[in-house]
Amino acid sequence: MNISNESIRALVRDGEVHSSVYTDEQLFALEMERLFHRRWLFLGHESQLPEPGSYFTGRLGQVPVVCVRGEDGQVRTLINRCPHRGAMVCQGTAGKVPKLVCPYHGWTFELSGKLNWIPLREEYTGAACDRLHDLQEVAAMESYRGFLFASLQAPASSLSDCLGHFSTTIDNLVDRAPGGGVTAAPVLIRHKYRANWKLTLENLNDTLHARVAHSAAARAAQVVARALPAGQADPTLNMMTANAKPLEAFRDLTQVTEAGGHSYFGAHMPTSYGQIQEEYTEALVRAKGRDEAQRILGVERHVGIFYPGSSWHARYQTVRIMQPVRPDLTEVIGFVFRLDGAPDGLLESAMHYCNGSTSAFSTVITDDLEIYEGIQRAARGAPGWLQIARESRRRAAGPGTGSYPATSEAYIRSQYTSWLDAMCGAAA
């Protein structure tokens, strides 16, 4: 590929990034090879694989994979590609099967990926047929508190090292369960947009855009909220009305950047749902004691970004995958998790939030998608330099972390530092 490290580094300079990072076909292919195929990416949750034969499909960069629980109880991530003619062995999104059977010519594999049977095996002769293959397993797969992460190629660091301080965001999601664990809801929420994958990650921790881009939805939500009976709340309205806060309120929140391009900022949306919230808090206190329950609920973070592939919201039990398809096409996949031991109504609230933040029908997300696609069109038609310089004053720093006002674009600058490290061959 005719892209030098020097030319890649020239696309990012102090406080600026060139818009060709969103449009260049060769650059996108290199991102898949050097970033998405070599980093730890979230794929799903162990609860989606309750028994042997349970599987779900996904992708690591551009490569289709299938996560399956074997007869031995072990979870494996296999490349979802038959070694015969390259068809996807599992074509659905999830299910349960006794064997993995290619729908093209019937090659059959054990749940471990080992080749089991071939129709008309006697007709496969010659040197090439002596090299009949099992399904290929990815280079690395690990579970952290039930969440499954994988890497197509051997990553430069362990999952633990890659997560670093970000593991506390995942811990907080699981710790919120009175029963000690979480269970994935059976339905995933998806949408696609015609723009680059990086635009979502650059938007999720952008507090300044909320009051501007979503102003019409926020004003409408305020009118509806005022008409509700006292004490009644709705998670979608909470999300929309929270975007109407003064900019000074967002500046007062704290943004945290982490090694590897990860980040989050302080919570800015209420999570009180009246009676359900009270029942949940009581259940958590009974399970973990009042002091521990207060500590867990006191962790107030908004969307956390695990760069480059997912976002996490512990308070709303939601995880999203950002899946690049082309330079100008991205799929977003939303997971919702039931907190084991929590009242059923809490899951309903989380589903409302995920619909509001992930569904293409959301009155909020449609604002973002229109802006992403406009940026993409402009980048393709009139490429040039874009600013990522807002608010560089660091409030504090810890091991591998930085702290800024939540209106800062420091987290975007951190993403491009990690992007350059991967694209130019530094440790990932």
- pLDDT for 46-72, tens place per residue? 999 999 999 999 999 999 999 999 999
Same domain, 96 and 222: no
Same domain, 47 and 174: no
Helix (H, G, I), strand (E, B) or coil at 291: helix
For residue 28, report the phi and psi dihedrals to the nearest 5 degrees. -60, -45
Report the pLDDT averaged over residues 363-367.
Answer: 84
For residue range 232-269, list pLDDT tens digits in order. 566 666 666 666 667 777 788 889 999 999 999 887 66
Q: Where are the alpha helices (DSSP H) in 144-270?
A: 159-163, 167-175, 197-204, 207-213, 215-227, 235-242, 247-252
Same domain, 136 and 256: no
Q: Is 47 domain-assigned?
A: yes
Handedness of CA 44, 46, 50, 51 (dihedral sign): positive
Q: Is 75 domain-assigned?
A: yes
Same domain, 78 and 208: no
Tell me the two tokens of residue 386. 């874009």
Contact 105, 119 (CB under 8 A): yes
Q: Is 365 domain-assigned?
A: yes
Contact 80, 57 (CB under 8 A): yes
Contact 115, 134 (CB under 8 A): yes
Same domain, 241 and 309: yes
Q: Is 156 domain-assigned?
A: no
Q: What pLDDT, on the 0 to 100 scale, is given for residue 235? A: 63
Nearest to 314 by CA among 333, 289, 296, 332: 296
Q: Centre a 10 Å sphere on the Cβ of residue 94 and count the other Cβ atoms it contains.
A: 18
Q: What pLDDT, on the 0 to 100 scale, is given for residue 356? A: 78
> Assign residue 200 a region: left if phi > 0, alpha if psi is -120 to 50, beta otherwise?
alpha
Q: Is 17 domain-assigned?
A: no
Same domain, 234 and 169: yes
Q: Which helix (H) or strand (E) holds 287?
A: helix 275-288
Check which CATH number belongs to the domain holding 66 and give it: 2.102.10.10
Same domain, 179 and 318: yes
Q: Is 32 exposed, middle or buried (0-12, 13-18, 19+ CB in 10 A)?
A: middle
Contact 340, 181 (CB under 8 A): yes
What gap in Å lies between CA 200 and CA 203, rounded to an integer?
A: 5
pTM of the model: 0.92
What gap in Å lies between CA 367 and CA 353, rounded to an integer?
A: 16
For residue range 307-340, list pLDDT tens digits in order. 999 999 998 999 999 999 999 999 999 999 999 9
Check which CATH number belongs to the domain holding 173 and give it: 3.90.380.10
Contact 189, 331 (CB under 8 A): no
Q: Is 13 domain-assigned?
A: no
Handedness of CA 184, 190, 196, 199 (dihedral sign): negative
Exposure string for 76-86, b = 16+ CB within 10 A, e = fewer: bbbbbbbbbee
- Does the pLDDT value for residue 17 go beyond 70? yes
Same domain, 317 and 351: yes
Quote the number of domains for the chain.
2
Beta bridge partners of 196: none
Same domain, 124 and 168: no
Q: Is 239 domain-assigned?
A: yes
Report the pLDDT averaged over residues 92-118.
Answer: 95
Q: What pLDDT, on the 0 to 100 scale, is given for residue 241? A: 64
Nearest to 34 by CA among 67, 3, 80: 3
Same domain, 274 and 129: no
Q: Which helix (H) or strand (E) holds 66?
A: strand 63-69
For residue 137, report the phi and psi dihedrals to the nearest 5 degrees. -90, 145
Same domain, 204 and 122: no
* Confidence bin at 391 (pLDDT 50/70/90): confident
Tell me the two tokens of residue 21. 């990072």
Residues spanned by the domain of 339: 164-423
Q: Is 149 domain-assigned?
A: no
Beta bridge partners of 17: 12, 386
- Of 125-139, 299-313, 327-341, which range is least confident? 125-139
Tell me the two tokens of residue 156. 């430069």
Question: Which of 93, 108, 142 is where one domain is finished?
Answer: 142
What gap in Å lies between CA 242 and CA 352, rounded to an integer?
A: 15
Same domain, 114 and 202: no
